[in-house]
Amino acid sequence: MLEQEGDLAEFDVFNFGGHWFEAGIEMAHAIQRVVGKPKPRIRRFPWALTYAFSVFVTVFREMLELRYLWQRPVRLDNTKLVAFLGTEPHTPIDMAVRSTLDGLGCPAGGPARQPEQAGTRAFAL
């Protein structure tokens, strides 16, 4: 995009479609593939507990407000980006997941590093 900066309006919006997971479970499957053995178990999110504790925990109330995002698909239209660039660049999903887990200090296939090892400070609440 920087090479074509002259063709852009002063303020222009381009949606990046990214990876599309219709059912949502595909991301969990990608994590399982990257982590390898032992595979983490996939479970349903405990929405009933979220409802129950939302009276006391603000973040749970906020999560309930956003629950609709898990109940219906929301997909960004990348038509303008593809028309401008020709193609939308993508990092293969397994590579992106592995890089993300490494960045979070959770190397694939091994135990999570302690915060000091990951280069961050730990705070106790």
Would residue 98 count as lying in a domain?
yes
Would residue 76 count as lying in a domain?
yes
pTM for this prediction: 0.67
Please state the three-class secondary structure of 51-82 as a single string.
HHHCCCCHHHHHHHHCCHHHHCCCCCCCHHHH
User: What are 51's two structure tokens?
Assistant: 């409802």
Would residue 28 count as lying in a domain?
yes
What is the count of structural domains for the chain? 1
Residues in the chain: 125
Cα separation of 51 and 71, whole Å?
16
Would residue 117 count as lying in a domain?
no
Q: What is the pLDDT of residue 6?
A: 78
Within 8 A by CB and 6+ apart from 73, the residues are 22
Instruction: Specify the range with the lowest mean pLDDT, choosing from 5-9, 14-18, 52-56, 80-84.
Output: 5-9
Question: pLDDT digits over 66-120, tens only?
Answer: 999 888 888 899 999 899 889 998 899 999 999 999 999 886 655 555 544 444 4
Q: What is the pLDDT of residue 64?
A: 96
Q: What is the pLDDT of residue 111?
A: 53
Would residue 118 count as lying in a domain?
no
In this predicted structure, the answer to whether residue 125 has a pLDDT above a threshold of 50 is no
Closest listed residue to residue 49, CA positions, set 64, 36, 37, 34: 64
Range of the domain at 42: 2-103
In this predicted structure, the answer to whether residue 41 has a pLDDT above a threshold of 50 is yes
Would residue 113 count as lying in a domain?
no
Q: If DSSP codes are grouped into helix, strand and coil, which group holds residue 119?
A: coil
Would residue 60 count as lying in a domain?
yes
Cα separation of 93 and 29, whole Å?
11
In this predicted structure, the answer to whether residue 121 has a pLDDT above a threshold of 50 is no
